[in-house]
Amino acid sequence: MLPEKDPRKTGDKDSREDSSVTLFREYLRIKTVHPEPNYDAAVQFLERIAAELGLGCQKVEVCPSRVITVLTWQGTNPQLRSILLNSHTDVVPVFEEHWHHNPFVAFKDSEGNIYARGAQDMKCVSIQYIEAIRRLKATGKHFSRTVHMSFVPDEEIGGHKGMEMFVKRPEFKALNVGFALDEGLANPTDTFTVFYGEKCPWWIKVKAQGNPGHGSRFIENTAAEKLHRVITSLLAFREREKQRLKSEEHLTLGDVTSLNLTLLEGGVSFNVVPSEMTASFDIRIPPTVDLKAFEEQLTAWCQAAGEGVTYNFCQKYTDQTVTPIDESDPWWKVFSETCREMNMKLKCEIFPAATDSRYIRAAGHPAIGFSPMNRTPVLLHDHNEFLNEQVFLHGIEIYTRLIPALASVPSLPVEA
């Protein structure tokens, strides 16, 4: 990857570029990348936006150096439950040697493709919210429900010092959330993907204990042999789920349990049989699976591998709440009808990974994962992540229709 000049330092600016695109690229250049995200710069950026648009701005420090920023557009009837537009400010690390362009310069090519870490996940959505509200405010419109935009840290590392803590705070409860939008995924077809639930992430570490000895001998009941049996059982299950996904056309990745061996640890020397070895697995379980029965199966696989085989959880999420997507639900009815009015084809799925939506749903609020990026390859966390500026701009237009529709949902029976 060749070094590229930073437009902030050179003063380069395309006078023909839409101002929304310029703002998007500015946000992409803020290095909120793990393991040391520059959250202060992101908060300052959002404070500036709030001042420009005349929005309320609240900063909630959920733990040291982890701040939730909430921009608020007050509704005409603040007693009604609000609309929450959530996005995260952090992005995942990059392997710069695999990128064609500097991932933190927001290079735009001749076709309007903007290359940057966070272009799809999910700084695009943050700016689409902001620019949609900018356009709506410019028309002088007002809506009955209050609209909040929340910008949260640490989603990419589990949200444990971000949204997971925020939903338990009085400041979140004071937002009086009725319905939330959060991130989704790109779709390479004309269809827009909508996510109404998520898998439960389980991260387990299996530990096998066995007889040690010299590397030249056939030691009985070694840790490696026992661990091999567990790995074989889990990967056989993985293959069954993989084949089920392939053979049953109606299934998506969100409908099956994914499982991957991600870490192997153990041993002290080439010529020493170790007394202990471990294997770590990343398991994502859809809401249709009985979690108790699945854990019993994990226990049985470990027991079958031999004495001294145990496992512990490094992460165990068990809330399987999903958001209603039938026409009897007032929020979904308005969301889906507005999309149909824009001739948008929707595909509803369970999210295959995990987002902050799970914490919002667990707190009792319906949430939809939606990133308006069709005709776009799925490149979140990938090398050369990009988003075309026309797709980005179309997303703003979509939100300028969705936000008023949702913010105008009539008073519900629970609000009477």
Spatial contact of 276 and 209, defined as CB atoms under 8 Å apart: yes
Burial class (CB in 10 A: 0-12, 13-18, 19+), 57: middle
User: What is the DSSP pairing of strand 192-198 with strand 346-351?
Assistant: parallel
Q: Which fold has domain 7-184+355-415?
A: Aminopeptidase (3.40.630)
Distance CA 343, CA 178 (A): 26
Residue 2: what pLDDT?
47
Bridge partners (DSSP) of residue 150 are 70, 86
Place of tokens 């991600």: 262
- Which residues of the chain does CATH 3.30.70.360 include? 200-316
In whole angstroms, give the CA distance from residue 208 to residue 229.
10
52 is in an annotated binding site: no
Give me the pLDDT at residue 383, please: 97
Closest CA to 88 of 42, 41, 135, 131: 42
User: What single DSSP character describes residue 299?
Assistant: H
Instruction: Give, for all 416 residues of the chain, the pLDDT tens digit.
Output: 545 655 544 334 566 899 999 999 999 999 999 999 999 999 999 999 999 999 999 999 999 999 999 999 999 999 999 999 999 999 999 999 999 999 999 999 999 999 999 999 999 999 999 999 999 999 999 999 999 999 999 999 999 999 999 999 999 999 999 999 999 999 999 999 999 999 999 999 999 999 999 999 999 999 999 999 999 999 999 999 999 999 999 999 999 999 999 999 999 999 999 999 999 999 999 999 999 999 999 999 999 999 999 999 999 999 999 999 999 999 999 999 999 999 999 999 999 989 999 999 999 999 999 999 999 999 999 999 999 999 999 999 999 999 999 999 999 999 97
**Active site residue ranges:** 90, 155
Q: Is 274 helix (H, G, I), strand (E, B) or coil?
A: coil
Count of C-beta atoms within a 10 Å radius of residue 325:
19
- Say whether 142 counts as a known binding-site residue: no
**Cα 339 to Cα 256: distance, rounded to the nearest angstrom:** 28
CA proximity to 309, closest of 204, 237, 202: 204
Strand-strand pairing, 82-88 and 177-182: parallel
* 381 marked ligand binding residue: yes
Give me the CATH code for the 200-316 domain, please: 3.30.70.360
Phi, psi of 28 (to 5 degrees): -65, -25
Query: What pLDDT, on the 0 to 100 scale, is given for residue 8?
Result: 46
The reply, when asked if residue 349 is annotated as ligand binding, is: no
Every domain range in the chain assigned CATH 3.40.630.10: 7-184+355-415
- pLDDT value for 12: 46
Q: Where are the beta strands (DSSP E) in 251-327?
A: 258-266, 272-273, 276-285, 309-316
182 labelled as ligand-binding?
A: no
C-alpha 390 chain-centroid distance: 23
